[in-house]
């Protein structure tokens, strides 16, 4: 059974039950009062009959008592009064025998004792009293009162039924409106289950269902983001593997070829030296490549960065110290510019970043040129006056294994992993890499620490 139908049925039953219970109590009180009022009026009427009889009979002293009494009641049109004395009926116009009138249970909550009597569809009350040695019954018809109670009961039942029907219609409409977002949510869930993570639910209400819809949208958003990241990561991994395979294949084939030649061919000393030098050079490059690769994967996995306060001056000193011997080989001067202030991050990882940037800057520089390291308000920068990077390649150089000039980079011992490593480290710090470069003029690599 649908939730809406269930809710409508349950609420209708509760409503109907509440209305009927109210009706019952109201009717009970009303009928109680009405019957009491009717009984009190009947009692007063019987007392009137009694007093009228007593004022009539008080001066009587004849021996035709029975005729006088009958005359009195007939004359006064008291058709429902019965009089008897010593078991003999003096006056009785009613359909009831003395026995019928005498028998039954008598109540005494009013001035005169009375009992209830049903005759056909009539509701009667019988009051009894004695006066001047005679006994009397006075019958009062209260059918009217019961009819009023019945008609009130019927009216209330109809009103309750009408109220229930109207309420059921209203409840049904309200529930339909309230639950309609659930249908949208269900459709949204099905879409997500089917792999379409772009589905969102447009629910404006601020009730619990509205907040459920908001939660659903947040969940869909998170799933979509996660799935996008997963597929991007899958793509990255596939590309990385393809590039890695390619990077390994060429030197390994060459190393194997040279090794083969060394074993099988008679080579001159200079050819042997050349072969060994090549094997040595390529082995070292492969060693560097594998180390960078391991570092890259390590950092990408271990997202926890131990943030510490680092003086920029100290960081630049460490970088310059590490890169100075390579700079000397190319007669490139490493210049430390403005370097006040501090930066928050992992010292070793930030050293790796700036060593890579400075190393690249030295590689790109002409002999006798200079490379500057300096700090500005929004970050730290490495500037060279070297060959620069073509505009359309700038966005690609942070991709793993991407090299602008492959053969030149390889000759310089490059692997195309340095900037990929830099990017990953900066990402984990919440920093960004900004590259400005112009061919034959130079490049500035900026680590931006402030959000711009
Ligand atoms: P590599 O190990 O080859 O240096 P990187 O990822 O560090 O790998 O750099 C990728 C490529 O970006 C380099 O091969 C080089 O072509 C280019 N590049 C990086 N820094 C500079 C720079 N300062 N000036 C010119 N080209 C650069």
Q: Which domains does the chain have, with CATH numbers?
A: 3-152 (no CATH), 305-452 (3.30.565.10)
Given the CA of residue 404, which atom of ligand 1 is nearest to it? 16
Q: Which residues contact 317 (CB under 8 A, 6 or more apart)?
A: 336
Residue with CA closest to ligand 1 atom 13: 403
CB–CB of 80/127 below 8 Å?
no
Tokens (6 digits) for 17: 């039950």
201 CB under 6 A from ligand 1?
A: no
Mutate to test the pocket of ligand 1, among 286, 362, 403 (most ligand atoms within 8 A of CB): 403
Q: Which residues contact 38 (CB under 8 A, 6 or more apart)?
A: 125, 140, 142, 144, 145
Q: Which residues contact 81 (CB under 8 A, 6 or more apart)?
A: 49, 73, 91, 136, 137, 138, 139
Residue with CA closest to ligand 1 atom 21: 360
Mutate to test the pocket of ligand 1, among 383, 419, 424, 443 (most ligand atoms within 8 A of CB): 419
134 CB under 6 A from ligand 1?
A: no
For residue 303, what pLDDT is reported? 60
Q: pTM to 2 decimals?
A: 0.52
405 CB under 6 A from ligand 1?
A: yes
Q: Which residues contact 136 (CB under 8 A, 6 or more apart)?
A: 49, 50, 53, 81, 82, 83, 128, 129, 130
443 CB under 6 A from ligand 1?
A: yes
Mutate to test the pocket of ligand 1, among 360, 366, 371, 382 (most ligand atoms within 8 A of CB): 360
Q: Alpha helix locations (H) across 302-374?
A: 312-329, 347-364
For residue 440, the CA-to-ligand 1 centroid distance in Å is 14
Work out the angle at residue 35's Cα, subtended by the Cα atoms of residues 30 and 37, and round it to the nearest 5 degrees.
Answer: 95
For residue 32, the CA-to-ligand 1 centroid distance in Å is 103
Q: Which of 132, 155, 125, 115 is nearest to 53 (CA)?
A: 132
Tokens (6 digits) for 63: 């021996």
Dihedral sign for Cα 343, 348, 351, 352, please: negative
Tokens (6 digits) for 93: 């116009």
Tens of pLDDT, residue by residue, the chain (452 residues): 788 888 889 988 999 899 999 999 999 999 999 999 999 999 999 999 999 999 998 877 777 889 999 999 999 999 999 999 999 999 999 999 999 999 999 999 999 999 999 999 999 999 999 999 999 999 999 999 999 999 999 999 999 999 999 999 999 898 888 888 888 888 888 988 888 888 888 877 778 888 888 888 899 999 999 888 888 878 877 777 777 776 677 678 878 888 888 889 888 899 889 889 888 888 887 887 787 777 777 777 666 777 899 999 999 999 999 899 899 999 999 999 999 999 999 888 898 899 999 999 999 999 999 999 999 988 999 999 999 999 999 999 998 888 888 777 777 777 788 898 899 889 889 999 999 999 999 999 999 997 65
Residue with CA closest to ligand 1 atom 18: 360
For residue 374, what pLDDT is reported? 97
Distance (Å, rounded) from C-alpha 18 to C-alpha 14?
6
For residue 83, what pLDDT is reported? 96
CB–CB of 150/58 below 8 Å?
no
For residue 412, the CA-to-ligand 1 centroid distance in Å is 10
364 CB under 6 A from ligand 1?
A: yes
433 CB under 6 A from ligand 1?
A: no
For residue 413, the CA-to-ligand 1 centroid distance in Å is 11
Distance (Å, rounded) from C-alpha 410 to C-alpha 405?
9
For residue 416, the CA-to-ligand 1 centroid distance in Å is 7
357 CB under 6 A from ligand 1?
A: no
């Amino acid at each position: 059974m649908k939730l809406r139908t269930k809710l409508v049925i349950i609420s209708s039953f509760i409503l109907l039950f509440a209305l009927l219970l109210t009706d019952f109590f109201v009717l009970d009180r009303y009928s109680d009062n009405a019957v009491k009022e009717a009984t009190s009026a009947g009692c007063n009427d019987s007392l009137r009959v009694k007093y009228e009889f007593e004022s009539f009979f008080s001066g009587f002293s004849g021996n035709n008592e029975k005729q006088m009494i009958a005359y009195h009641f007939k004359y006064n049109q008291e058709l429902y009064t019965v009089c008897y004395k010593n078991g003999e009926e003096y006056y009785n116009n009613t359909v009831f025998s003395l026995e019928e009138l005498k028998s039954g249970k008598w109540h005494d909550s009013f001035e005169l004792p009375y009992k209830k009597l049903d005759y056909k569809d009539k509701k009667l009350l019988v009051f009894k009293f004695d006066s001047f040695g005679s006994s009397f019954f006075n019958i009062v018809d209260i059918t009217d009162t019961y009819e009023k109670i019945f008609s009130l009961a019927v009216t209330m039942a109809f009103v309750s039924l009408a109220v229930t029907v109207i309420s059921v219609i209203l409840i049904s409409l309200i529930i339909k409106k309230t639950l309609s977002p659930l249908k949208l949510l269900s459709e949204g869930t099905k879409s997500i289950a089917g792999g379409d993570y772009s589905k969102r639910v447009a629910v404006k209400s601020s009730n619990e269902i509205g907040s459920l819809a908001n939660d659903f949208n947040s969940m869909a958003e998170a799933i979509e983001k996660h799935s996008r990241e997963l597929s991007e990561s899958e793509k990255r991994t596939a590309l990385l593997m393809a590039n890695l395979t390619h990077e390994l294949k060429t030197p390994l084939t060459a190393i194997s070829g040279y090794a083969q030649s060394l074993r099988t061919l008679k080579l001159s000393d200079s050819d042997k030296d050349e072969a060994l030098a090549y094997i040595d050079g390529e082995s070292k490059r492969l060693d560097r490549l594998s180390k960078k690769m391991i570092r890259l994967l390590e950092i990408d996995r271990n997202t926890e960065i131990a943030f510490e306060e680092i003086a920029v001056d100290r960081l630049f000193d460490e970088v310059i110290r590490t890169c100075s011997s390579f700079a000397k080989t190319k007669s490139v001067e490493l210049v430390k510019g403005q370097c006040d202030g501090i930066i928050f991050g992992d010292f070793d990882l930030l050293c790796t970043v700036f060593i890579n940037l400075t190393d690249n800057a030295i590689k790109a520089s002409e002999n006798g040129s200079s490379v500057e390291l300096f700090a500005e308000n929004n970050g730290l920068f490495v500037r060279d006056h070297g060959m620069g990077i073509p505009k359309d390649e700038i966005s690609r150089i942070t991709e793993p294994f991407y090299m602008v000039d492959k053969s030149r980079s390889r000759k310089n011992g490059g692997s195309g992993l340095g900037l990929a490593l830099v990017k990953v480290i900066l990402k984990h710090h919440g920093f960004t890499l900004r590259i400005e470069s112009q061919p034959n003029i130079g490049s500035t690599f900026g680590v931006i620490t402030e959000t711009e």
